[in-house]
Chain A
Amino acid sequence: MSRYTAKPLPPTNLPELRQIGKPLRRVDAMGKAVGSTVYAGDFSMHRMLHAKVFRSTQASALIKRLDASKARALPGVVCVLTAADVAHAKLTSDMPGQTGQKQRTGSDVPVLAYERVRFYGEPIALIAAETLEIAERAMRLMDVDYEPLPGVYDPLEAMKPGAPVVTPPDNIVGRWKIRKGNVDAGFAEADLVIENSFRVPHQEHAYLEPEAGVAWIDERGVITIRVSTQVVEHFRSIARAVGVAQNKIRIQGTMVGGGFGGKEDVTVEIYLALLAKHTNRPVRLVYTREESIFGHSKRHPYVIKHRTGVKKSGRITAAEIEIISDSGAYPYLSPYVLLYTAVMSTGPYRVDNLRVNAAAVATNNPYTSAFRGFGGPQACFAYEQQMDAIAARLRMDPLELRKVNYVRTGDTTATGQTIQTAAWLEETATRAMEALGEKTPDHGAIKVGQGFSSYFQSYGRIMWLHDTSQSWVGVEMDGTVTVRAGVPDLGAGQANSLCQIAAEVLGVPLERVSIYCTDSAITPLSGTSTATRQLYMSGNATLMAATNVRKVLLERVSRQFEEVVDNLDLAESRAFVKSNPSRFMELADLAKVCAADGAQLTSLAMFKAPFHDPIDPETGQGPVFPDFTFGSYAVEVAVDTGTGQITVLKAAASHDVGRAINRAAVEGQIAGGGVQGLGYALMEDLIVKDGVILTPSLSEYLIPTCMDFPTTKVIALESGTGVGPFGAKGIGEPSLTPAAPAVASAVADAIGVRIHELPLTAGRVLAAIDGLKK
């Protein structure tokens, strides 16, 4: 028997749906199973050139001399581009609405470094050659002289006056402040004040598919880039960087072999566009694993300090949180990631008196940007461990402490935003812990512990970014359905969900729905596959479009059958009378009748997220996100106190997903995100020394194999209160957020001492155990 039992759920009365919620075979699944799905690197074109990116081997240096002449002279090399050759092109972010930061969020990143390099692996030149082998030989003929510059590799050092300047004037690339209530009064009221500092490291996305793309100029002079990307809309900043009009760049996104935020920024697109433009031939660029690890962003390392005042009852009276992130060599999305951490820094708890100071700091480390959770997992590691530390000091059960403080619907977040939807924290925590069952007994040197964490994580983008998404739905003359949406599919079933929604609304089996997606020329723009927004935004847009078409169909049938619309329904590719289903019309026939009448069987709909102004720059108060997902994660671990090694014996995840669109996909996301979080907790050690990654391949940077963790027990709950279609919430990022602190909590339960940093290596575990013995 576990020491917790599941808290009963309130009745939800969710309507029965025919296809929504069922674990139907996804529209993309079979192509992937038989190997016919084409990924970006699988694509070839006639007379295609092969590209390589020549990169800096210094983390902080001046480029004194760059000589590409030998490379250019190599037979078979068609083009070598340096910064001067591309008019010092810059990549600027196209995110509107920046306040509260010290610097523009639109970071100006030189496409190719000129005069100075700021991180190891920074691109300096582009090479295009007839074969990959020639391109690689040309790489070795590039001639560079560097003059090393003092670098800085720790954000705390980089903040000090006199530190080497990576980003002028003072390395601070983002700042946020939150001030709520009266912190000093809150601390004065406290019976106990507890202070702790937590440290979390880089994490590498390690998607199985390295970055890849092919670009060519089509017959109308449009630079077309077929690329593995999370963002179709990058065509705007690509156009600017390359010096062409926005309507002369076309992005054709392929099925992405894993993104997780690592393909959220521009990766290979601009290199491809520049090379295609300069050579007038198709060009392919595929990264090796090492180029991928050196070449793209990482999760932000953070130092987070919590100072919390509590009453003996466990009630939090005040909190002061200091947050510093390592933004690396270029800002990219750092100010936004920092915002997420600040907004979610308290965790899902009522904190009426709060002071948060957050800073993102530039260093010569690899640049950091989006990674599943976007600052949320880092915040969660800190706040959940802090809660456990408080519980230990108060000698309270960790769940009891949380119950005193958990937010409820109607409470406000750190920025004063009212939580509108269900906040099933105790419901998920008790279920996750209950699923672990009785603790496995200790034996020999093995000590067993159980622990859980609760979290909240936003879904949908920051509301002052005025997010929109468009989707087009139409019925063909044979009754099949077509969806067109810009949505990039990262493998989480983004495209399939839209199909399943259209299928439900139009009463057509999923197999008869087809989707065209991710083409900036021909599919309506649906926005980024980031921020756990696609189901919410594009799902709603698709729901709107499909509903518009449904209305037209039902109106026509109602005239045909002389029945009111309320007595009609669509299912199994038919329109029928609910009270007498033997009166029906095949959808194909209905479509033809509508077309003959000139009734429009297609609809393009735009869904808009709520638009708000930015939060107050001094107090951080104001609504930030459309909604939040709540949940919990529990783990049982066995710690070998001799070796320091940790084995996860059991893992359970419980999240309120609002409403599952495809149950198998939801459970898969929950399990997979959790495992990625367990990897972050236990084995993903990106070792960076003086800015150089010492773990540049999957031999050194270890991600979980199937032997590392047991199958997760997934308990997906449906409150139906989400703002997505059918009451859905988002789960893509939330699934990762709570895993690491749950492990840390279980380890602390096992060995009696808490470890405040990740990953929980054997060395750290032994040091903690040794420390306890002393």
Chain B
Amino acid sequence: MKPEVVSLNVNGCVHHVALAPNVTLLTALRDLGYTDVKCGCEKGDCGACAVLLKMPGAERAEAVNSCLVLAWQADGAGITTVAGLGTAERPHPLQAAFADAGAIQCGYCSPGFIIAAKALLDRNPHPSEREIREAIEGNLCRCTGYGHIIEAIQIAADKLSAEKGGAQ
């Protein structure tokens, strides 16, 4: 089982890395230094490892558990982690909303939630509360009780559509 070079475009940066087939995308990303992708269970139960995955030829990126994707399966794919959405100096509206709405306590689940929320807002810019809940039902949070998280996503959705409206 020889390692082969896999090409992963992470947050716009292309990595060519030799990996054995049995390495998950989660492990590959963290070993590349993307420790913003968290490991909570390694079996798709918690959503902490969620990333946006855009397979070659796919129309859009989807939020997936990176622990359930083999790095080799993502060869040539585009991957967005939470660090790719924004920085402390220029945060994405979701990141700012999470920080300001009290949606972040221990923060370990936050990257996964923000990714799932980004995927939601990309396809549904005006989600109802129910739609927000459904989009993040695969992300577990043990600290917040979810209320502030849902608020934060709503605030970010409003801000993003206001920005779009303003741009016109």
Question: Are A and B direct contacts in the complex by CB distance below 8 Å?
Answer: yes
Which A-chain residue is minimally distant from B35 (CB atoms)?
A42
B28 adjacent to chain A (CB < 8 Å)? no
Is there contact, CB below 8 Å, between B147 and A32?
no
User: Once bound together, how far apart are the Cα atoms of A525 and B141, in whole Å?
Assistant: 30
Contacts of B65 in A (CB 8 A): none
Is there contact, CB below 8 Å, between B108 and A671?
no
Contacts of A25 in B (CB 8 A): 99-100
User: Once bound together, how far apart are the Cα atoms of A25 and B134, in whole Å?
Assistant: 27
Contacts of A675 in B (CB 8 A): 145-146
A34-B88, A258-B143, A668-B143 are contacts. A209–B105 as well, Cβ < 8 Å? no
B42 adjacent to chain A (CB < 8 Å)? yes
A605 adjacent to chain B (CB < 8 Å)? no
Is there contact, CB below 8 Å, between A35 and B83?
yes
Which B-chain residue is minimally distant from A707 (CB atoms)?
B137
Instruction: List 11 A-B residue pairs with CB atoms under 8 Å apart, sorted by A's residue number.
Output: A28-B104, A30-B95, A36-B88, A42-B30, A42-B35, A255-B107, A257-B107, A289-B45, A490-B106, A668-B103, A671-B146
Known: A34-B85, A491-B107, A668-B103. 8 other contacts (CB 8 A): A33-B110, A36-B83, A257-B108, A258-B108, A672-B144, A675-B146, A697-B45, A711-B150
A1 adjacent to chain B (CB < 8 Å)? no
Number of A residues, CB within 8 Å of B: 57
A39-B108, A258-B106, A668-B102 are contacts. A30–B140 as well, Cβ < 8 Å? no
* Per-position binary interface string of chain B over residues 15-42, scored 1 when its CB falls under 8 Å from any chain A CB and 0 otherwise: 0000000000000001000011111111
Which B-chain residue is minimally distant from A651 (CB atoms)?
B145
Contacts of B91 in A (CB 8 A): 30, 33-34
User: Once bound together, how far apart are the Cα atoms of A674 and B100, in whole Å?
Assistant: 21
B126 adjacent to chain A (CB < 8 Å)? no
Q: How large is the interface on B (under 10, 10 to 19, 20 to 34, 35 or more residues)?
A: 35 or more
B60 adjacent to chain A (CB < 8 Å)? no
**SS class, residues of chain A in contact with chain B:** loop
Which A-chain residue is minimally distant from B110 (CB atoms)?
A32
Task: Say how far B64's CB is from chain A's closest CB, in angstroms.
Answer: 17
Partner of B102, one of A288, A667, A676, A711: A667
Which B-chain residue is minimally distant from A259 (CB atoms)?
B106
Q: Which of A122-130, A698-706, A764-772 contacts B (4 or more CB under 8 A)?
A: A698-706
User: Once bound together, how far apart are the Cα atoms of A65 and B21, in whole Å?
Assistant: 37
User: Once bound together, how far apart are the Cα atoms of A669 and B145, in whole Å?
Assistant: 8
A208-B48, A258-B143, A698-B45 are contacts. A38–B108 as well, Cβ < 8 Å? no
Which residues from chain A sit less than 8 Å from chain B, CB to CB? 23, 25-26, 28-39, 41-42, 205-210, 255-258, 260, 286, 288-289, 490-493, 664-665, 667-669, 671-676, 697-699, 703-707, 709, 711-712
Contacts of B36 in A (CB 8 A): 34-36
Is there contact, CB below 8 Å, between B105 and A492?
yes
B82 adjacent to chain A (CB < 8 Å)? yes
Which B-chain residue is minimally distant from A662 (CB atoms)?
B102
Task: Say how far B34's CB is from chain A's closest CB, in angstroms.
Answer: 8
Task: Say how far B28's CB is from chain A's closest CB, in angstroms.
Answer: 13
B55 adjacent to chain A (CB < 8 Å)? no
Is there contact, CB below 8 Å, between A671 and B147?
yes
B98 adjacent to chain A (CB < 8 Å)? yes
Is there contact, CB below 8 Å, between A30 and B106?
no
Task: Say how far B108's CB is from chain A's closest CB, in angstroms.
Answer: 3
Contacts of B142 in A (CB 8 A): 205-208, 258, 260, 672, 676, 703
Task: Say how far A532's CB is from chain B's closest CB, in angstroms.
Answer: 15
B61 adjacent to chain A (CB < 8 Å)? no
Contacts of B88 in A (CB 8 A): 30-31, 34, 36
User: Once bound together, how far apart are the Cα atoms of A651 and B143, in whole Å?
Assistant: 17
User: Once bound together, how far apart are the Cα atoms of A667 and B145, in whole Å?
Assistant: 10
